[in-house]
Structure 1
Amino acid sequence: MNIDGIRLVKVDEGEAVVPEWPPGEASPDWAETEFRGFASADGRFFGGGWEGGGGALRLDPYPYDEVCVMVSGRVALVDLDGGRREFCAGDVFFVPKGFRGTWETLEPSRKFFIAYYPTV
């Protein structure tokens, strides 16, 4: 592989993907766009930028392992028992595949992310 394999990752550049969620999982005001800047050949490892407006998304379970680097805004993760953690610009956090709860975007937010679908 040569230098052409190196990717510059920006929050709002890359393949724009708007994930589709099952009916009733997202609040009516939920809005998000992923900008996939890179992916492995098998698609199990990928990342890029993400933007989201307000709203909430129930993730039961969370579909993959993900590292998030908050660039701006504020989000919260709330587990099914009511445990809550909030994250803002500058925070880096890991969400394991299988987390059960809700992602809340409390204000317009941007992040970088790296996601991985582990083997079953």
Structure 2
Amino acid sequence: MTSARWMRIFAHARGEGLDDWPAMPAADLVSGAPVQYGRYYFNAPKLGLSVGVWSSSAYERKMKPAAADEFGLVLDGSATITEANGHVTEIAQGDAFVIPRGVECAWKQTGHVRKVFVTFASAKASAKPSASHVVKLDTSARLEPCGGPDKSLLNGPEPRCAEHVAYTDAGGQFTVGLWSATPYDRKATPFPRYELMHFLEGNVDFYDDAGGSQGFQAGETVFVPKGAPLGWRSHRDVKKIFVILSAEG
């Protein structure tokens, strides 16, 4: 499934609006018989990119290499990710994390977990892990000044932008981090990449070239597919988590 417009990612509280998903293979489990639910908002197998919401009851999965780069944003519950080298990452509601492709790890949750996910499994990717360990995003990390939107597309003054890159895959296509900007207005133009945005501060109005618009505020999440007409209008400072795929297709 693909889309030519941005998509608000809903939290699906209590699992409402999620579909039944197949059972996990018993051979992959240490304990539990998890019941899974989920919804794909974007799923492009040829590209290797999937975006959606996943929910599951308690289980423990065996140690195994991650088949794809995965970003997760925990909406409900908590889990423990244990790597083969003994490194342990605890995640809970509100936490964002990345499991790099190829990192050997086990997943354990003692109760229900619901999360937003973005997975990228490029056929061209190296079998070598993109990073040596699981990355848990620090939303208080220092952001450094960075380039802003194309001046020719602005309706007004240039914003001041800053970013912190927390993770980049080995191929330089899949990037996760933090970004902030002062208020600005950018004309609607085809979006140059695939990006999931989770807003931490401020609010913004998206608008397209046909007069449609939608507002987003802190705590909300949206996915923008490549090529979707997108304008940006913010009247307050904005800070967000970004998950970007810069790839052909």
- Contact 1:76–1:87 under 8 Å retained in 2: yes
TM (norm. structure 1) is 0.83
Report the number of matched residues.
120
Task: State the distance in 1 between where 2:244 and 2:191 align.
Answer: 11
Match of 1:10 in 2: 138
Match of 1:61 in 2: 190
Match of 2:207 in 1: 78
- Contact 1:39–1:45 under 8 Å retained in 2: yes
How far has the Cα of 1:117 moved from its partner?
1.9
- More contact order relative to length (CA 8 Å, sep ≥ 6): 1
Counterparts in 2 of 1:36 and 1:6: CA distance versus 1, 3 Å? same
Task: State the distance in 1 between where 2:239 and 2:143 align.
Answer: 16
Counterparts in 2 of 1:7 and 1:14: CA distance versus 1, 3 Å? farther
Residue 80 of structure 1: SS of its match in structure 2?
coil
Residue 137 of structure 2: SS of its match in structure 1?
coil
Match of 1:31 in 2: 160
Match of 2:238 in 1: 109
Task: State the distance in 1 between where 2:187 and 2:137 align.
Answer: 27
Counterparts in 2 of 1:76 and 1:13: CA distance versus 1, 3 Å? same
- Contact 1:16–1:34 under 8 Å retained in 2: yes
Task: State the distance in 2 between where 1:66 and 1:51 align.
Answer: 15
Q: Which amino acid aligns with 1:64?
A: R
Match of 1:94 in 2: 223
Q: Percent identity?
A: 22
Give the structure with higher Rg (CA): 2
How far has the Cα of 1:12 moved from its partner?
5.3
Task: State the distance in 1 between where 2:151 and 2:237 align.
Answer: 23
Task: State the distance in 1 between where 2:218 and 2:150 align.
Answer: 29
Residue ranges of structure 1 left out of the alignment (5+ in a row): none
TM (norm. structure 2) is 0.43
Counterparts in 2 of 1:107 and 1:22: CA distance versus 1, 3 Å? closer
Please give the root-mean-square deviation of Cα atoms over the aligned residues, in Å.
2.3
- Contact 1:77–1:103 under 8 Å retained in 2: yes
How far has the Cα of 1:82 moved from its partner?
1.5
Q: Which amino acid aligns with 1:83?
A: G
Residue ranges of structure 2 left out of the alignment (5+ in a row): 1-83, 88-131
